[in-house]
Amino acid sequence: MAFPERLDIPTDVLDISNTLEGAGFEAWCVGGAIRDTLLGEANSDFDIATSATPEQVRALFPHNVPVGEKYGTIAVRSRRRFHEVTTFRQDVRTDGRHAEVQFGVSLEEDLARRDFTINAIAYHPIRQEWRDPFDGAADLDQRTVRAVGEAGRRFGEDYLRILRALRFAARFEFKIDTPTWDAALAAAPGLVNLSAERVRDEWFKGLRTTRSIERLVDLWWKVGAAKVWLPELVQEPRPQLPAAPAGAVRAPERRQSLVGRREERSAALPELTGVHGATLRRDPVLLTILLCLDPVAVLVRLKASNAEIARAAAVLAGRPEPEGATPVAVRRWLSAVGDAADDLEMLWELRHRVAPIWEPVMRGIRERGEPLTRKELAITGADLQSAGVPPGPAMGNLLERLLAMVVDDPALNTREVLLARARSLR
Ligand code: ATP
Ligand code: MG
């Protein structure tokens, strides 16, 4: 691939580069944004590699957050956006999950510590120069994920790279170069050394960005990652899953793919209709529920947040769908499943690839604000107490019965009716 003469670099990134270069340091754009832009995919998340040390970066940019200072990474604010500025570095010691790093190295050495050739291309945003010592351009052309340097050694330095290879292959529909794949297979048992958080972030990112969930699942099994971290993952996911949202944003039309495949690939994307957008369909928690046999155990193992684990548990506890599409049936279901309703509806949609016929019914119920919880009843426990109902289980029971009544007929949700009914039920 011949590199374009120049890339459109966002002004906020140019400002950072100008400041660094003006102070006598080198500043290069590297990593995912360069790769994605060359592939014709939008990515404004530009990373900057620099010869300035982290302290020098902090001194030049008063608005900064030392997100990974030990590793040389400072997030720098420019025109309200943050970009990561990372000092050229080399990994001097690694244990498969952490690296001890050394600064004061050249751009070429910095590119050499990066994982894949497609991620090791640098562009100078001011001089419009390219550096591609590992021929990442050829791999972009050939749609190949290839390790920088000796793959076996590179995976041994950081096992996460195995999962990253799978993610990029699944996201771009790239093949994995044979020596890289063989090394990944051989190194996969070492995945056990990774922290659950890093594995979770990779798994979630993979789910969000892959073009085909089947491919991602297949790769996780084939390389041996599922065996180590996700044995509950269903090997051949039956449900037809929606195609990837193709990144958060699509590239503007003028940014033509340099490998000439973008149009083809976007044409292959089915129209994502239904009430929920593509982003929600790629909710990693929901997809984990859909794809794994014991999703709660999986999320616990991956150290997902308590909220995420609770969400999965609520989904599993809820009835998957209402008994019918009548307003009464749908209200009963909504009332029973509570907060899990949206997740259950999304799962239904993911499994069947169409929105359920009860979805508009559900929307109507919500739009009309029909009562579904005790809190929405036109009377409270205090009202019942003044009407002579003693607090305690009997009152709870009574409120439940009143709720069941108004769920079946929302017109009954008035103070008078409910008080009268409470008296007769007592
Ligand atoms: P995306 O942000 O789309 O996931 P990316 O390639 O930008 O993809 P980041 O995690 O943002 O990935 O990392 C930025 C760059 O840092 C990568 O392109 C790569 O050059 C390098 N890098 C990231 N993680 C590793 C790693 N584990 N080993 C080696 N290099 C890495
Ligand atoms: Mg990135």
Query: 234-281: per-residue pLDDT in tens?
Result: 987 655 555 554 443 333 332 333 333 333 333 223 323 334 445 556
| Nearest CA residue ID for atom 5, ligand 1 | 32
- Structure confidence at residue 186 (pLDDT): 98
User: Is pLDDT above 60 for 9?
Assistant: yes
Segment among 239-253, 276-290, 320-334 with least mean pLDDT: 239-253
User: Residue 238 to residues 241, 353, 377: CA-CA distances in angstroms?
Assistant: 9, 12, 42
pLDDT recorded at residue 135: 98
Looking at ligand 1, which residue's alpha carbon is closest to its atom 30? 114
Q: Across residues 317-324, what is the average pLDDT?
A: 96
Model confidence at 43, in pLDDT bands (50, 70, 90)? Answer: confident
Per-residue pLDDT band at 6 (split at 50, 70, 90):
very high
Give 383-422 pLDDT, tens digit per residue. Answer: 988 888 888 888 899 999 999 999 999 999 999 999 999 8
d(CA 170, CA 206): 8
Q: Compute φ and ψ for 292, nearest 5 degrees.
A: -115, 145
Atom of ligand 1 nearest to the CA of 161: 27
Pocket of ligand 1 (CB under 6 A): 31-32, 45, 47, 114-115, 119-120, 158, 160-161
For ligand 1, pick from 47, 162, 205 the residue to mutate: most ligand atoms within 8 Å of CB: 47
Q: Which residue out of 97, 108, 115 has the highest number of ligand 1 atoms within 8 Å of its CB and is therefore the one to mutate? A: 115
Q: Kindly give the number of the ligand 1 atom that is closest to the alpha carbon of 111.
A: 20
Instruction: List the one residue out of 31, 179, 192 whose CA is nearest residue 97.
Output: 192
302 Cα to the center of ligand 2, angstroms: 22
So what's the pLDDT on residue 388?
Answer: 85
What pLDDT, on the 0 to 100 scale, is given for residue 122?
98
pLDDT top residue among 116 and 352: 116
pLDDT at 288 over 80: yes
Q: Confidence class of residue 307 from pLDDT cuts 50, 70 and 90?
A: very high
By percentage, how much of the chain surpasses pLDDT 90?
A: 78
pLDDT of residue 343 exceeding 80, the answer is yes
* Listed residue (131, 190, 191, 178) closest to 151, CA to CA: 178
User: Strand 90-94 to strand 122-124: parallel, antiparallel, or no bridges (unpaired)?
Assistant: unpaired
- pLDDT value at position 389? 85
**Ligand 2 ion: Cβ-proximal residues, 5 Å cutoff:** 32
Residue type, 318: G
Which residue has the CA at smallest separation from atom 2 of ligand 1? 32
pLDDT mean over 150-167: 98
**Ligand 1 center to 119 CA (angstroms):** 7
